[in-house]
Structure 1
Amino acid sequence: MSPLTRAARNRAVGLLGAMAAVVATWTVAAPAAQADDMRSRQWYLDAMKADEMWKVATGKGITVAVLDSGVDSTVSELRGKVLPGRNFSDAGEGPGRVDNKDRDRHGTNMALAIAGSGAAGGVKGIAPDATILPVKTGDFAFNGWGPTFKGIRYAVDNGARVINISSGGVADEASTADWLAAVDYAHKKGALIFAAAGNDGIESRSYPAAVPGVVAVGALDTKGKVAKFSDYGSHLALAAPGMEMPGRCTDNKNKYCAFKGTSHATAIASGTAALIWSAHPDWTGNQVLRVMMETAGHNGPVPSKYIGYGSVRPAQVLLEGKGNPGDPNVNPLLAAQGGGQPTTSKPSEPSKASQTSPSPENTGASGSDQVKDQAAGSDEGGFPLWAIVASAVAVVAVIGLVVAAGVRRRASTDA
């Protein structure tokens, strides 16, 4: 697929890239103090009962491929956890080169959310003992989708059971067959692919989230409700935390920033799959996905175009033993989708507000806020109220918002 034109690129990044970079930075002098401070910011770990789950499983033995901007394995939380990987990007060092460079730290932050160790008071991932396979695919607007197709095949050929793609955009009819072939290849190798829904708060179908069998992930806020910026549609499969997510700042990797976006939500969903799979290594990807869908938290119709089958709740599987793995050879998402083909029509255009760096007050699609403003999980192993309130208070007390203009193609807001 040839690179997109500048106009098409603007439309693509406006559709699924982050809206405005609304971030909060913090720097703590002493590592011990930073450790306490960081955990208070990772509100979702308490909400998901992470400490209890880690007594059962930690993601050990599961490789998660991060198809993104690269992964910096030198940050403290990722040391010894990142495989060499491969660079399929046409930019920078050139295709095939293996390196630790990640200029905008998007891929690094996805890896942290999935498998960060928490070392030196840093970010701890939902599956802290999982292994990261970095696959550098670059910006599709410049490189086309080719690097991503190659990256998917490379990932599964090199042991990845879970593939995280926290980005997306427009794909034309010519690329549909390539998408189907790449996803089918991963499924036949037993892998699961998770992809970000997008951050314009509109109903849209972007790639690869719209490809049948790909687990499209929406974002939840700190109250366990659908985030106003999270894109939605009938293809949505699951939802996960995507607000006030800590990571390394884009402009200074030695500082931490708060991010929001379906990028981080996708990483949490990928990490959840790794966590469950490490507890049940004999399960197939189909069985892991089935229990994730069966135990997802929801209030209302299932599936919902806002949260799919609901919010990821690994505690239901690991602590309560819930979820029937079922047939190892049947993909539950494809079965639910009727084995249909992806639409080749272009996603809905982003709103004018999303293209002009909106403030936190005017993000999302106001016409659907009333419907979207619903709890995505119950208080049974989902997002307990006490954890949400305590964490939200801690976050509000320490975070100052800084609005930075600019739109990126990544499905999270960056510093």
Structure 2
Amino acid sequence: MKGLAPDAKILPVGLPVEVDDVPDPNSDPLADAVKYAVDHGASVINMSFGWPVLSEEEKQALSYAAKKDVLLVVATGNDGVGRLDQLTSHPGVVAVGAVDKAGKVWEKSNYGPQTMLTAPGTFIRSAASNKPYELANGTSDSAAYVSGAAALLRSKFPELTAGQIANRLVKTAGLAPGQEGMKLPDPHYGYGFIRPLRALTNDIPAGPKNGPLRIPKDAPSAGKDGSNAPGASSSGGDQASEQKDSGLGAGAIAGIAAGVLVVVAIIVIIAVRSKNRRNGPPPGGPGGYGGPGGPGFAPQQPGQYQQQPGPYQQQPSAPGSYPPAPPIQPPGQ
């Protein structure tokens, strides 16, 4: 099985699943993990887990990642509720919801004004802890798709900032038929579902360095190819192509991956995993997304990015029903 960015370098960073597993009670595992990833060359950090409340140290770690131009991708969660936790809502984060094979939002995908993008999240063939593969539903998989697409973009466009990478994903995002008049960003869809091939090949100006990202207040404004202050919006002059896609088929995804192998260099993606994995078990039914040739999808509407409201709290989500993944060895062991 080959993923969206098969030549990306994965640096797995584990988080304790129980309080008793924390070696130092005075440490902050999430903050330590983020800083470790950044200091070891991460350009994209995927966080497919829930984290209802952020400590000050954790907020500082996320701001540190933004300062170092690392793209943070977070799953919105699988409760089907209209609120997002503090991790998903933190400035500088790309919050990702799930859509089905028709491009319609998955019914259990959490949503809110911070949602930026969606990606496939139902009947995903995934590695399992007690068998080779299983079918899974969840925004965890959606976030992983976005992280993979970001890895491809960071490889092909190394001069772009994290915000400008997010800009390419946003400007080429699509909507399912019948959603053409939707006001964007939408709480469920954000700017739409990712279309990696278009993000790689469309002619899109770099735009402001922060793109659609809200930047933490303590993050400096220094960055590549930009003079805008943090939080600045990019112009809406870049419109996605009007031609139709062939759908979100597994065959299409595989074709995209094969088509970009020549531009994939060593990109570091950090896979941080926890017991509260944002994946739920799939209902019975066929796996995969089918082959290409499905319905066409409308491009997102042009327009300026809208500033999103600040973070808010939610109660802890119930742990996912999948068993925890096997222990992850530290890098180099």
TM range, smaller chain: 0.5 to 0.7
For residues 133-174 of structure 1, give each alpha carbon's deviation from its aligned partner in whole angstroms, at most 9, with x where no partner exists: 1111123776599211111111011001000000013216xx
Tell me which of 190, 197, 204 is aligned to 2:83: 204
- Change in Cα spacing, 1:386 to 1:293, as seen in structure 2 (3 Å) is closer
Q: Distance in 1 between matches of 2:125 and 2:83?
A: 27
Q: Distance in 2 between matches of 1:241 and 1:384?
A: 7
Whichever residue aligns with residue 130 of structure 1, its letter is: A
| Secondary structure of residue in 2 paired with 1:334 | coil
| Secondary structure of residue in 1 paired with 2:72 | strand
Q: Find the counterpart in structure 2 of residue 130 from structure 1.
A: 8
TM-score by length of 1: 0.51
Whichever residue aligns with residue 127 of structure 1, its letter is: A
Shift of 1:378: 8.4
Is the Cα–Cα contact under 8 Å of residues 292 and 312 in structure 1 kept in the other structure? yes
Is the Cα–Cα contact under 8 Å of residues 95 and 117 in structure 2 kept in the other structure? yes
Is the Cα–Cα contact under 8 Å of residues 379 and 385 in structure 1 kept in the other structure? no
Unaligned runs of 5+ residues in structure 1 are: 1-122, 342-376, 389-394, 400-406
Q: Find the counterpart in structure 2 of residue 323 from structure 1.
A: 204
Whichever residue aligns with residue 185 of structure 1, its letter is: Y
Q: Distance in 1 between matches of 2:185 and 2:93?
A: 15
Count, aligned residues:
234
Q: Find the counterpart in structure 1 of residue 163 from structure 2.
A: 286
Q: Distance in 2 between matches of 1:398 and 1:150?
A: 37
Q: Find the counterpart in structure 2 of residue 222 from structure 1.
A: 101
For residues 292-350 of structure 1, give each alpha carbon's deviation from its aligned partner in whole angstroms, at most 9, with x where no partner exists: 1111113311000001111111211223x23322133x353217xxx689xxxxxxxxx
Shift of 1:409: 3.0
- Change in Cα spacing, 1:378 to 1:225, as seen in structure 2 (3 Å) is farther
- Change in Cα spacing, 1:301 to 1:259, as seen in structure 2 (3 Å) is same
Once the two structures are aligned, what percentage of the paired residues are identical?
35
Is the Cα–Cα contact under 8 Å of residues 101 and 249 in structure 2 kept in the other structure? no
Q: Distance in 2 between matches of 1:378 and 1:197?
A: 29
Q: Distance in 1 between matches of 2:250 and 2:138?
A: 24
Tell me which of 74, 79, 88 is aligned to 1:195: 74
Whichever residue aligns with residue 198 of structure 2, its letter is: Q
Q: Distance in 2 between matches of 1:386 and 1:274?
A: 19
Unaligned runs of 5+ residues in structure 2 are: 219-240, 253-283, 289-316, 325-333
RMSD: 3.1
Q: Distance in 2 between matches of 1:128 and 1:386?
A: 15
Q: Find the counterpart in structure 2 of residue 242 from structure 1.
A: 121
Q: Distance in 1 between matches of 2:250 and 2:39?
A: 43
- Change in Cα spacing, 1:180 to 1:237, as seen in structure 2 (3 Å) is same
Alignment of 1:66-85 (within 5 A): none
| Secondary structure of residue in 2 paired with 1:219 | strand
Q: Distance in 2 between matches of 1:261 and 1:273?
A: 19
TM-score by length of 2: 0.63
Q: Find the counterpart in structure 1 of residue 214 from structure 2.
A: 334
